[in-house]
């Protein structure tokens, strides 16, 4: 079932439980999970988590050290699978009179907001400089966030936000005082964007050894 959230005139596609479980497994590659715990963290039923884990075990991505316990075995395969399914939420473009330095200065004080895509990658690897700002914003704070920086517009701008739930912010980090999404999220988002995003993702993957997740 597809879940949607209305924010003004914008309709936002929300994440599936499969993506949430995938992210958790990649963020904690050494952890031994109980199926019930994984289901709870992903907000899905135990039956769905069981179906997911059985499929991953059959594909050699997960292993079962004990009954009802799972751990990541094929991190690279799981990351590639996530990248192939990842769909970025529909963006909301913000029209603003603020410069990029001004926006980034304000973002340092914002909670519930993390950079992703090219803007996050630039802070990490200084590869392919961009004038755009792309950020996830907690869905409950999106309206206030937009109002603080400008106005929502249908026309593409260099300031883009993706209203999201709390799962996307797990293991975020701060660089130069600005919050960035976790490494695997940044990588998956870049791959899903296609084009030059895949080139930047490759550089990000080399620095952080994501092929050995």
In a domain, 2, yes or no: no
The per-residue pLDDT for 14 is 54
For residue 10, pLDDT beyond 70: no
Higher pLDDT, 12 or 62: 62
Q: Does 57 lie in the same domain as 117?
A: no
Q: For the segment 109-154, what is each residue's pLDDT rounded down to a tens digit?
A: 999 999 999 999 999 999 999 999 999 999 999 999 999 999 999 9
Are both 96 and 187 inside the same structural domain? yes
One domain, residues 172 and 101: yes
Mean pLDDT of 70-74: 95
Query: 198 and 101, same structural domain?
Result: yes
Average pLDDT, the chain: 91
The percentage of the chain sitting over the pLDDT mark of 90, rounded to a whole number, equals 87
Whether residue 5 lies inside any domain: the answer is no
**Are 191 and 96 part of one and the same domain?**
yes
Residues 155-180 as b/e (b if ≥16 CB within 10 A, e otherwise) read eebebbbbbbbebbbeebeeeeebbb
50-72 burial, b for 16+ CB within 10 Å, e for fewer? eebbeebeeeebbeeeeeeebbb
In a domain, 206, yes or no: yes
| Same domain as 76, residue 107 | no
How many structural domains does the chain have? 2
- My answer on whether 101 and 190 are in the same domain is yes
Task: Provide the pLDDT for residue 13.
Answer: 42
- Alpha-carbon distance of 166 to 29, in angstroms, equals 20
Regarding whether 124 and 176 lie in a shared domain, the answer is yes
Burial string for 10-40 (b: 16+ CB within 10 Å, else e) reads: bebeebbbbbbbbbbbbeeeeeebebebbbe
- Same structural domain for residues 124 and 196? yes
**pLDDT bracket for residue 213 (50, 70, 90):** low
Token pair 């497994």 is found at: 25
The answer to whether the CB of 33 falls within 8 A of the CB of 78 is no
**Domain identity same for 99 and 49:** no
| pLDDT given for residue 67 in this prediction | 86
Q: What is the pLDDT of residue 184?
A: 96
Which domain, by its residues, includes 38?
Answer: 13-85
Q: Residue 77: which CATH number?
A: 1.10.10.10
**Alpha helix (H) residue ranges in the chain:** 17-27, 35-42, 46-58, 75-85, 100-107, 117-125, 142-149, 183-193, 196-208
Let me know whether 97 and 81 are in one domain: no
What pLDDT, in 10s, does the model give residues 139-196?
999 999 999 999 999 999 999 999 999 999 999 999 999 999 999 999 999 999 999 9
The answer to whether position 208 is within a domain reads: yes
The span from the CA of 27 to the CA of 24, in Å, is 5
Identify whether residues 72 and 114 lie together within a single domain. no
């Amino acid at each position: 079932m597809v879940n949607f959230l209305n924010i003004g005139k914008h309709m936002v596609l929300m994440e599936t439980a499969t993506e949430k479980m995938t992210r958790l497994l990649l963020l904690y590659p050494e952890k031994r999970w109980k199926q019930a715990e994984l289901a709870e963290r992903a907000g899905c039923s135990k039956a769905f988590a069981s179906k997911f884990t059985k499929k991953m075990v059959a594909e050699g991505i997960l292993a079962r050290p004990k009954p009802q316990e799972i751990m990541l075995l094929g991190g690279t395969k799981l990351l590639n699978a996530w990248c192939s399914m990842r769909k970025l939420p529909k963006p909301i473009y913000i029209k603003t009179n603020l410069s990029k330095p001004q926006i980034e200065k304000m973002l340092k004080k914002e909670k519930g907001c993390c950079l992703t895509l090219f803007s996050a990658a630039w802070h990490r690897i200084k590869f392919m400089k961009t004038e755009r700002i792309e950020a996830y914003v907690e869905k409950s704070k999106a309206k206030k966030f937009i109002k603080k920086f400008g106005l929502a517009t249908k026309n593409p701008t260099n300031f883009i936000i993706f209203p999201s739930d709390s799962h996307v912010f797990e293991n975020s980090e701060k660089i130069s005082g600005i919050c960035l999404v976790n490494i695997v999220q940044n990588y998956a988002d870049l791959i899903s964007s296609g084009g030059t995003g895949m080139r930047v993702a490759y550089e990000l993957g080399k620095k952080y050894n994501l092929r050995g997740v």
